[in-house]
Structure 1
Amino acid sequence: MKRIDSPPQKWRRVGELSELTLFPVKSFAGISLQDAECTEYGIQTVGDGPLKLRDRFFIVYGEQTKEFKTARTYPKMVLINVSLDGTDAVKLSAPDMPELRVKIPQPSENNKHERCTFWYGDTVETVDCGDTAAQWLSKYMLNQDCGMRLGYYLVDTMPRRVPFKEYMQCYKTLRSSDMGVYSDLCSFMLMTESSIDDLKTRMSSDVSIVPRQFRPNFLVRGSVPYEEDKWEWIKIGETAVFRNVKPCTRCVFTTLNPVTAVMDPKREPLRTLKGYRQVTDPAMLKVEGTSPALGIFMGLYHTGTVRVGDDVFVGDE
């Protein structure tokens, strides 16, 4: 008898992958990719070099409070770009700031490990990236010489996040291995163009939104609006297989323009989403509150390389 947590044998095509985006630092600008490797920690750049950019492996946190920081409070963060710089470092760039080379921390007894407060009082572990990076971030975000720190996740030396007990009770398909490093929850988030297009028709014509406001890793073209809500198993390309874990509930971050770093004064598209995409399931309300949902979080069941233009399939059993 086939196990309920086993991927299906039959698949039905529902669209194609139109955009693929990696976010190296939580709340920084995303990077558009043509292909990516899907690992249990999220997507990462493809290549033979020793260093790869990986999704949300960096985090910004307060020097004194040790609380993680996002563009919800510091909108300018979405204008910071990250790129690889050689075989052991990344380069940070932002408006009116000099470029900065940040060497990636390596496992060492001299590393400065920190415990940072995350969502709902949870904590995550990170390795501090040094005073130069901290000063650069503090200058850009606070116009001060200190206050912010940059942290990095070391896979082989740091513990994996554990899902909140309330989420495990509400979402039966959620596994510990589905948790992202510094993402809000899971390692992968998928959205569809059709759902975003339908959302646009419900808003005033003077409001402009782009998919990047929702920060999906995968954007799918060709599907029916909101049918992704009911997709259980998803396959992208030839080998990468995912399972729908839960709806992606939305917050004020969606009102932030990723190009200008300005929040919409009418709180769009969040305001419109609240009018017709509100969470209503009693169990979900208990853990999500009254947030609207758009897009889905996914867990990985089979690794693989995905490419823009790949067919997207759902289980057909």
Structure 2
Amino acid sequence: MLRLSALYRFPLKSCKAESLQQVGLDKLGLDGDRRWMLVDEASGRFLTQRVVGQMSQLSALWNAEGGLTLSVPGRSAIDIALPASDAELRGVTIFKDSLRVPDAGDEAGAWVSEFIGKPTRLVQIPLDRARITQAGYGKDDDQVAFADGFPLLLIGQASLEDLSQKVGQTLEMLRFRPNLVIEGSEAYAEDGWKRIRIGDVEFRVVKPCSRCILTTIDPQTGVRSDDREPLATLQKYRAQEEGAMFGQNLVNDGNGRLEVGMPVTVLE
């Protein structure tokens, strides 16, 4: 039997995960997932571990009011409220998307600037300013917050175990930053799914996930592997035109709640 074996939320894009037992869903995926982002103050360009490795050590906990608590070893934590409806808007760029979103304010900006080591701002995306998902996949009105392209990422536990065997070391699931982990399927079974149901919520499987250099960063230490593993192995046997694929991007059709242990049904 297929079941949901793990749930992860990433409140702040490219920072540490929250491991959850249950969580709600809204139009943009898991409640609170990737609703916040760090940007370069001057350019508004988004920041990730791809170029700022220390972000792997930044913890961001989401609260029910939509705010954040940021913390890193050796520094006092900071609580950041959800920006007010009339908060200053900042122009930001994430990949090819340019948009204006609420800025979290100067206190938050000073805290993240000191951590990053250059002028940085913290921004938040409300539902009414969400981006459209990657063109050519899903429906025209599918939306996403600050995740790379789609609201949710699913990986089968057996797929990770197969990759670990090929690499020759036990790999942490969090290298691949999924929201949903499924147990009970064969390795890469998720490649063939088109629609699934978990609890009362249906999900469309819209696109394989192309993997990048982030997979080579140890999520515990933030250290990048010298041998480019596991990306190097993925590129040997999971390469497609857009890159090395591992995991599937999903869009949820409707709201609801998820809980670890729920059965998963493949509908198509």
**TM-score band w.r.t. shorter chain:** over 0.9
- From 1, 5, 29, the equivalent of 2:16 is 29
Given the two structures, how large is their TM-score scaled by the length of structure 1? 0.80
In structure 2, relative to structure 1, the CA distance for the partners of 1:55 and 1:240 (3 Å cut) is same
Q: Which runs of 5+ in 2 are unaligned?
A: none
Q: Find out whether 1:267 has 2:237 as its counterpart.
A: no
* Pairs aligned (count): 268
Q: Find out whether 1:75 has 2:53 as its counterpart.
A: yes
Secondary structure of the residue aligned to 1:235 is: strand
* Aligned-partner Cα distance in 2 for 1:89–1:222: 35
- From 84, 95, 113, the equivalent of 2:89 is 113
Task: Report which of the two structures shows the higher radius of gyration computed on alpha carbons.
Answer: 1
In structure 2, relative to structure 1, the CA distance for the partners of 1:234 and 1:134 (3 Å cut) is same
The residue type paired with residue 2 of structure 2 is G
Number of the residue aligned with 1:244:
205
Q: Find out whether 1:147 has 2:119 as its counterpart.
A: yes
> Aligned ranges for residues 7-22 of structure 1 at < 5 Å?
14-22=1-9
Secondary structure of the residue aligned to 2:2 is: strand
More strand by share: 2
1:16 CA displacement: 0.6
> Aligned ranges for residues 143-292 of structure 1 at < 5 Å?
146-156=118-128, 158=129, 160-164=130-134, 167-168=135-136, 171=137, 174-205=138-169, 208-237=170-199, 239-279=200-240, 285=241, 288=242, 291-292=243-244
Q: Verify the 8 A CA contact 2:65 2:82 in the aligned structure 1.
A: no
In structure 2, relative to structure 1, the CA distance for the partners of 1:88 and 1:232 (3 Å cut) is closer
Secondary structure of the residue aligned to 2:132 is: coil
The residue type paired with residue 80 of structure 1 is L
Q: Verify the 8 A CA contact 1:27 1:78 in the aligned structure 2.
A: yes
1:91-138: CA deviation from partner (whole Å, max 9, x where unpaired): 111122111121210201xx221221111x321332111111111111
1:176 CA displacement: 3.7
1:85 CA displacement: 6.2
Q: Verify the 8 A CA contact 1:179 1:185 in the aligned structure 2.
A: no
Number of the residue aligned with 2:80:
102
* Aligned-partner Cα distance in 2 for 1:308–1:30: 16
In structure 2, relative to structure 1, the CA distance for the partners of 1:87 and 1:181 (3 Å cut) is closer
1:208-242: CA deviation from partner (whole Å, max 9, x where unpaired): 420011010000111000010010111112x1100
> Aligned ranges for residues 130-145 of structure 1 at < 5 Å?
130-142=105-117
Secondary structure of the residue aligned to 1:254 is: helix
In structure 2, relative to structure 1, the CA distance for the partners of 1:85 and 1:204 (3 Å cut) is closer
Q: Verify the 8 A CA contact 2:11 2:62 in the aligned structure 1.
A: no
* Aligned-partner Cα distance in 2 for 1:89–1:296: 29
* Aligned-partner Cα distance in 2 for 1:253–1:222: 27
